[in-house]
Chains A and B, each alone.
Chain A
Amino acid sequence: MTPEAAATPFVDFRDVALAYDEQSGFAVEDISLTIRPGEFVAIVGPSGCGKSTFMKLTTGLKPPTRGSVTVAGQPVTGPLKFVGMAFQAPTLLPWRTTLDNVLLPLEIVEPYRSTFKRDRAKFADRARALLRTVGLDGYGDKFPWELSGGMQQRASICRALVHQPKMLLLDEPFGALDAFTREELWCLLRDLWSEQRFTVILVTHDLREAVFLADTVYVMSARPGRILARREVDLPRPRDLEVTYSDAFSQIVFDLREKIGRVRKPVDLAAAKAAA
């Protein structure tokens, strides 16, 4: 990558606001941020702060009411075509085998789409290799409902990455998993990212997850969502799980927690006053 390419942001939000309809007011407001190519960004905040709205804006699934969103130098006007997404629910298709689920994006995204029938064997090999890296070797021919929740989520991440997207959007992907599986998948995501260096936007309300994985953490306020703070995580890479027990790590988590705490308090006080 040339230095200039690194200097131009991959994602550029300028004073973006979005209202879903006229009565409900803004879901997010005054969002301005830039994301470098290959940067790992985490967005944290209380629930209902418009994190998912932020994702919809980035992918072009929703156009902004005000301001502009630019991705890869192009203003976003409709749904982007080079994005991989994964959600809290694995959303795998129960009538397809795990392998066919992972292959789904290749049936839709160009240039794979036009050669899918011809190159199916090659693509299937690629999907199997990807399944192997996430520890699902040999599970390709099983149906998703034959896998555990953690395994389904791994398959879902494979599906998000199989077409080698330039950007990966994750909306609380590990939220429904137990603590051990979650930490295992953190490491998995870390390894995939350091290998392929796609741009990642991770929406989460797990602060440890955000600090462990991300280069930059953004804190959003409660509705209407605004960006309250931006924190670069300067912990050296590669990061092992042990880092989550270090003082430096805890300090960053604590700082972020305090910012979210401050978001909450005035609201609670106002509510208490109104009640009294």
Chain B
Amino acid sequence: MNRATLRRLEAWAPWIILLALLAVWQAICSIFKVSDFIFPSPYTIAQALVEYAGPIAGHAWQTFWTTMIGFTIGVAVGLSLGIAVGTSRFVYRGLYPLLVAFNAIPKVAFVPILVVWFGIGSVPAVLTAFLISFFPIVVNVATGLATLEPELEDVLRSLGATKSDILWKVGLPRSLPFFFASLKVSITLAFIGTVVSETVASNEGIGYLMMSAGSSMKMPLVFAGLAVIGVMAMAMYEFFALLERRMTGWAHRGGHAPA
């Protein structure tokens, strides 16, 4: 096999693995005649997807926009906190331990509190998505800023650069690859936050759909919900991966740099 075919095969690898996995899954369900109530086969899940396409699309849209709002707030807050933690020793010392402690709390524990404050609906979902997604952004942006080469800082300071000059001209551009890398992690976390909140406290969204489908024993529909979440999260991940490559190509130069 030459290198070109190998490269082409690599591009198809995720699809090949996915199909193989579905085939094995289907085979197990068919051969052992597994009940759809226990473990539905890919075929019945696909049937459910088609049958409930309308409601699924509605709930998926709900989940999608709540996630995106929560994620957007997460990016804004994460970026500001990251800059504060990365540029100020005082903030780093004071705030960072608290942030770490906060991050260790399972976010599902916040949902009941949010429900008491804001009632059932989109608001707890948005807030849970936000709470779960901002931390990786803080850590990454702060790391990008804190690992600035001291020589570079000396060069700039001996030119009379102010702190904000250094931040804008060097610190922020330098932490962009860290920032984009964290977006990929955060967007998938944001989906988790939304769905967790929807299963507990909402009448809309994929989380709610799965919950109610489960309680009426429509297991294929529950699995269809899982598949929809997976696809949405993966699509957004790929979107941010693409954005990362476009914005910070200089940091991923393995492919096109000359020898």
Chain A interface residues toward B at CB < 8 A? 56, 59-61, 79-81, 83, 85-87, 89, 91, 93-95, 104-105, 107-110, 143, 145-146, 159-160, 163, 169
Contact yes or no, A145 B253, CB < 8 A: yes
The segment out of B105-113, B146-154, B220-228 that lies at the interface is B146-154
Cα–Cα, bound, A104→B157 (Å):
12
- Residue of B151, B174, B248, B257 with most chain A CB atoms under a 10 A cut-off: B151
Cα–Cα, bound, A104→B251 (Å):
20
Q: A81-B158, A108-B160, A146-B257 are in contact. List 6 more A-B contacts (CB 8 A).
A: A59-B158, A79-B160, A80-B160, A104-B169, A108-B159, A109-B159
**Within 8 Å of chain A (Cβ to Cβ): is B155?**
yes
Give, as a whole number of angstroms, the nearest-CB distance from A135 to chain B. Answer: 18
Cα–Cα, bound, A86→B248 (Å):
26
Cα–Cα, bound, A97→B160 (Å):
22
Give, as a whole number of angstroms, the nearest-CB distance from A270 to chain B. Answer: 33
Report the 5 A-B pairs with minimum CB-CB distance, sorted nearest first.
A81-B160, A59-B158, A83-B158, A87-B151, A91-B152
Cα–Cα, bound, A86→B151 (Å):
9
Cα–Cα, bound, A154→B250 (Å):
21
**Within 8 Å of chain A (Cβ to Cβ): is B84?**
no
Residues of A close to B250: CB separation below 8 A: 94-95, 143, 145
Contact yes or no, A93 B173, CB < 8 A: yes
Identify 26 residue pairs between A and B in the complex whose beta-carbon atoms are under 8 Å apart, listed by A's number: A59-B154, A79-B160, A80-B160, A81-B159, A85-B155, A86-B155, A87-B151, A87-B155, A89-B151, A91-B149, A91-B152, A94-B251, A95-B174, A95-B248, A95-B251, A105-B159, A107-B169, A108-B159, A108-B160, A108-B161, A109-B159, A109-B160, A143-B250, A145-B257, A146-B257, A160-B155
Cα–Cα, bound, A146→B159 (Å):
26
Residues of A close to B156: CB separation below 8 A: 108
Contact yes or no, A83 B258, CB < 8 A: no
- Residue of B154, B159, B160 with most chain A CB atoms under a 10 A cut-off: B159
Cα–Cα, bound, A94→B251 (Å):
8
Cα–Cα, bound, A159→B170 (Å):
15
Chain B interface residues toward A at CB < 8 A? 149, 151-152, 154-161, 165, 169-170, 173-174, 176, 248, 250-251, 253, 257-258
Residues of A close to B161: CB separation below 8 A: 108
Residues of A close to B154: CB separation below 8 A: 56, 59, 61, 85, 87
Given A79-B157, A89-B151, answer yes or no on A146-B169 (Cβ-Cβ < 8 Å): no
Contact yes or no, B158 A79, CB < 8 A: yes
Contact yes or no, B248 A146, CB < 8 A: no
Contact yes or no, A110 B160, CB < 8 A: yes
Residues of A close to B170: CB separation below 8 A: 93
Residues of B close to A79: CB separation below 8 A: 157-158, 160
Cα–Cα, bound, A145→B152 (Å):
16
Cα–Cα, bound, A159→B158 (Å):
13
Give, as a whole number of angstroms, the nearest-CB distance from B22 to chain A. Answer: 42
Give, as a whole number of angstroms, the nearest-CB distance from A98 to chain B. Answer: 12
Cα–Cα, bound, A81→B157 (Å):
8
Residues of A close to B149: CB separation below 8 A: 89, 91
